[in-house]
Homo-oligomer: A and B are copies of this chain.
Amino acid sequence: MSRFFLAQTPIDTATLRADLLDDRVGGYASFEGWVRNHNDGRDVLGLRYEAYVALAEAEGAKVLDEACGKFDILDARCVHRIGDLVIGEMAVWVGVSAAHRDAAFAACRYIIDEVKARVPIWKHERYAEGDANWLHPDSKP
């Protein structure tokens, strides 16, 4: 079963989290990326995420499997939204369970960084001025 998912509908973090918890878990780290009302000094009205679905699912699953191999964690999941999102909606969620917090934090950070850097998903922002733009950053922050 894959640990990475693309979702066309809002992400239910409570259910995702519940899937990661069991009696061995001592630390659970999670990260959520939300649609901000501004980016690079411009007012953002909303955005759209587009993915190359087949490759995004394969590359996302690879990132999650790497995290499970590199860090002493029990399990991990990541979900990324695609389609239209409004300000304040959740764009991406990462959850990691581990016996100890060091590994949970490290794996959570690894997953969000690698997903942002490698998984073929693109953000299209609509601005208050009426224009819109595909984001193709030179390098990932």
Chain A positions within 8 Å of B, measured between CB atoms, are: 14, 21-34, 36-38, 87-88, 99-101, 104-105, 108-109, 112, 141
A21-B88, A100-B141, A105-B109 in contact; A26/B31 too (CB < 8 A)?
no
Main secondary structure of the interface of A (DSSP, over half): mixed
Q: Which residues of chain B come closer than 8 Å to A112, judged between CB atoms?
A: 101
Is the CB–CB distance between A37 and B24 below 8 Å? Answer: yes
Q: Which residues of chain B come closer than 8 Å to A21, judged between CB atoms?
A: 34, 88
Q: Which residues of chain B come closer than 8 Å to A87, judged between CB atoms?
A: 23
Is the CB–CB distance between A31 and B32 below 8 Å? Answer: no
A112-B101, A141-B100 in contact; A26/B30 too (CB < 8 A)?
no
